[in-house]
Structure 1
Amino acid sequence: MSLLGDDSTESVAETVQETREVVQEEAPPKTGSTSFKLARLLFGGVLAFMAVDNFRNLEETVGYAESKGAPMAETTVPAITGSLLFGGLGIALWKLPRLAAGAVATFFVGITPVMHDFWTIDDEEQKQQQMIHFLKNLALLGGALAFLRVGEDD
C-alpha cells in the first residue's frame, strides 16, 4: 500500500501525462516571425561584419594570432574567419541554419580561450579588456547555440 494512497498515485500519473501532452502540442519556434528575422539579421550581420573586418585587416589579425601562439596563423586565421563569414551569412539569411550556427559556435569555442586568455595577463587594463572580449564571445557563443537549437527544428 502506498503512503500517498492509490488516488494520489493515479493523480500524479494523470498530471504527468497531461504535461507531456501540453509539451508535445507546443508549436515549433516561429522562425518566420518579424522578431526572429530581425534577431538573425542582427546576429548574423554582426558576425559577417566581424569576418569581413578580419579579412580587410588580415595581416594585422594574423600577427595578433601569432603573438597569442595560434598554430599556423597564416593558414588558420583565414580559414576560421571564412567559417565565421559563412556562419554569419547563413544565420542572417537562414540558409543551412544548423551548419551555419555550428560554424559560428566552433569559431567561438576555438578562438575565445586562445585569443582572449585574460587569466594569463598581468597588466590590469589589458586583463580587463581581454576579459570583456572573452565574456562578449561567450555571449555570442550562447546566441550561436540558441540558433543551432532552433535550426534543428526548422
Structure 2
Amino acid sequence: MSETDVADNGTPSRFGRLLFAGGLAILAIRNLTDLEGRIAYADAKGVPSADRLVPAASGLLLGGSLGIGTWKFPKLSAGSVAAFLAGVTPVMHDFWAVDSESRDAELTSFLQNLTLLGAAIVFFRRASEN
C-alpha cells in the first residue's frame, strides 16, 4: 500500500492530510502575522470583540491544521477546523450583503470555505470511526 492510500488502521492519506493541513496552516499564519489588518477587516464586518476573536480563531485554525497533518487528536483537530470554518464563513464572506463590486470575490471565498468545511467534516467522520 502506498503512502497516498488509506492505511489499514483507517488513517486518511498522508499526502491528502498534508495538502489540506498545509494550506490551512499557511492561512492561519497569514492571519497571525497580519493581525492588525485581519482585526480591522473583522471590525468592518461587525465582528464583536474582533481584537480577541481573530487571534483565537486563527489559533484554532492553526492547531486544528497541525493536528490533521500529523493525525494527532484527529477528532478534536478536525472539529476545530470545522468550527472555525462554520463560524467564520457566513460572517466574513457574506456575499449576499455586499455591493456588486465585492460580490464575486466574497462568493468565491464563501464557496472555497464551504469546500474546506466539507473536507473537515470528512476528516472528523474518519477520526470518529477509529
**TM-score, normalised to structure 2's length?**
0.91
Cα offsets for 1:12-38 (capped at 9, x unmatched): xxxxxxxxxxxxxxxx77426xxx110
- Does the 8 Å contact 1:47/1:88 carry over to 2? yes
Structure 1 Cα separation of the partners of residues 10 and 14 of structure 2? 10
> Are 1:29 and 1:153, in contact at CA under 8 Å, matched by a contact in 2?
no
Structure 1's unaligned 5+ residue stretches are 1-27
Residue matched to 2:61: 84
For 2:96, the aligned partner's letter is W
Quote the residue 2:80 is aligned against. 103
Q: What is aligned with 2:105?
A: 129
Q: Percent identity over the alignment?
A: 47
Q: What is the identity, as a one-letter code, of the residue corresponding to 2:63?
A: F
Are 2:120 and 1:144 equivalent residues in the alignment? yes
Where do 5+ consecutive residues of structure 2 fail to align? Answer: 1-7
* TM-score normalised over the length of structure 1: 0.77
Q: Aligned residues, how many?
A: 124
Q: Which residue of 2 aligns with 1:60?
A: 37
Is the partner of 1:31 in helix, strand or coil?
Answer: coil
* Runs of 4 or more consecutive aligned structure 1 residues displaced over 3 Å after TM superposition: none
Tell me, yes or no, if the aligned pair for 2:10 and 2:126 is still in contact at 8 Å. Answer: no
